[in-house]
């Protein structure tokens, strides 16, 4: 096949066996059960922001502190939630994904 990614010493790895192993299934489940709901939440939150800007401009213009209004706070809130989700994912991946991936890798001829 054209994908010459094969030449990196995986000839004797039984991928189907690894895939059906309980440990890999745990890794897969942990990965999906974090990334899917969190991403869905982030996208819905962004969608809410865009819809509020389009359909509730008076609400967005409500002053909160001095000239700073609801719209500005929600916009900056998008930046903050993006940062927070990023940090949460990194910590989750370090604790729950990386160790198990490293175990599977070392058992299958990987050195890292």
Can you give the binding site for other proteins, defined by CB under 8 A?
A: 1-6, 8-10, 13, 15-16, 18-19, 24, 27-28, 31-32, 34-35, 38-39, 42-43, 46-47, 49-51, 53-55, 57-58, 60-61, 65-69, 71-72, 75-76, 78-79, 82-83, 85-86, 89-90, 93, 98, 101, 104-105, 108-110, 112
Q: How far is the CB of 29 from other proteins (least distance, A)?
A: 11
Q: How far is the CB of 72 from other proteins (least distance, A)?
A: 7
Q: How far is the CB of 39 from other proteins (least distance, A)?
A: 5
Is residue 20 within 8 Å of 70, Cβ to Cβ?
Answer: no
Cβ-based nearer residue to other proteins, 76 or 95: 76
Name residue 63's beta-bridge partners. 69
Q: Who contacts 52 (Cβ-Cβ below 8 Å, separation ≥6)?
A: 59, 60, 71, 74
Q: How distant, in Å, are the alpha carbons of 16, 60, 71, 81, 95 from that of 51? A: 45, 11, 12, 18, 36
Q: How far is the CB of 95 from other proteins (least distance, A)?
A: 13
Distance of CA 50 to the CA centre of its chain: 21
Q: Say how many CA atoms lie within 13 Å of 75 toward its Cβ.
A: 8
């Amino acid at each position: 096949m054209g994908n010459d990614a094969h030449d990196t010493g995986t000839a004797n790895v039984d991928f189907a066996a690894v895939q059906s192993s309980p440990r890999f299934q745990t890794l897969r489940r942990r990965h999906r059960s974090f990334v899917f709901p969190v991403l869905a939440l982030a996208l819905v939150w962004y969608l809410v922001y865009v819809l509020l800007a389009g359909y509730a401009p008076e609400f967005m213009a409500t002053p909160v502190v001095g000239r700073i209004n609801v719209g500005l706070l929600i916009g900056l809130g998008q930046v903050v939630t993006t940062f927070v989700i990023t940090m949460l994912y990194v910590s989750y991946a370090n604790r729950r994904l990386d160790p198990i991936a490293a175990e599977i890798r070392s058992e299958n001829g990987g050195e890292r």
